[in-house]
Amino acid sequence: MKVTQRIDRDRPVFSAEFFPPKDDVGEAELWRAIRRLEPLDPAFVSVTYGAGGSNRDRTIRTTARIATDTTLVPMAHLTAVSHSRAELRQVVGEYAAAGIPNVLAVRGDPPGGPLGEWTAHPDGLTYADELVSLVRELGDFCVGVAAFPYGHPQSPDETADLDRLLVKIRAGADFAITQLFLEPDGFLRLRDRLAAAGCDVPLLPGIMPLTTMRTLRRGPELSGAAVPPALVERMERYAEDPAGFRTAGMDVTTELCARLLEEGVQGLHFYTLNRSTATAELVSRLGLGARRPVGAVSGPAG
């Protein structure tokens, strides 16, 4: 089943993202998380690709196992970093052979990270829209792309960033998932600007449960936006209290998700870090998934 078939325009859904495990211990941990989330009926689950395609084989193997051994709808990531066109075609062919119809096509970060200098493979691709087109040429895939509520770190401004997103969508992308963020306004502005441009593909907000101080500190690094001062003040009091930080952080995340649902988002995409507890708790709080009917949000604990 394709991701777009699982995004219900009348009922909000959730999805979850995992990364391929590095060893047997990590694989056992990943599958515990997958099995715990499976009964909650996520719309789909995705598996990341790894910097420079470093985890390509594990990504293919993990995603294929999800397709064959679970009831979940899988989506595999694909990046253009360090890959020739021939290698990219091979990977897409392996996805097709494994029965994986959904691909998230992202250019990927250069080896130095988001701000590193991009150097394309001599026989590779430079932009994500080229990758979208390549996947489209190779089969009947449902293709997603990345979006940035505050603009990609290398974009000169929000207008240029929106233009790049529109190019990816016009190349054939069916939906977009955003980088994580900790306050809703940037996402909502991006959604409204897409709508004003005549684009109605689903835009899913990327949410990382705020459970540790490290998550809070990584927000600006990954989202390109400073953490709101009020949020910093609210959370810094728990800097030396991990349990207290998690409790308060889950309240913050619930409030963020509730606001997005109130604004009519079609789904929430959770970055799980291969854990399931926080995601399952948020799904329960928000009345998503299979175990609880959709209804009023159970207000954040105070």
Catalytic residue numbers, as ranges? 17
Backbone angles phi, psi at 78, to 5 degrees: -145, 130
Which of 38, 57, 39 is CA-nearest to residue 47? 57
Report the distance separating Cα 57 and Cα 73, nearest Å. Answer: 19
182: which strand partners? none
Q: Map tokens 């096509």 to a residue.
A: 105
Report the distance separating Cα 69 and Cα 95, nearest Å. Answer: 16
Residue 190 is encoded by which pair of tokens? 């991006």
Residues 6+ apart with CB under 8 A from 207: 180, 253, 256, 257, 268, 269, 270, 271, 282
DSSP 8: -
What helix, strand, coil percent values describe the chain, rounded to 5?
45, 15, 40
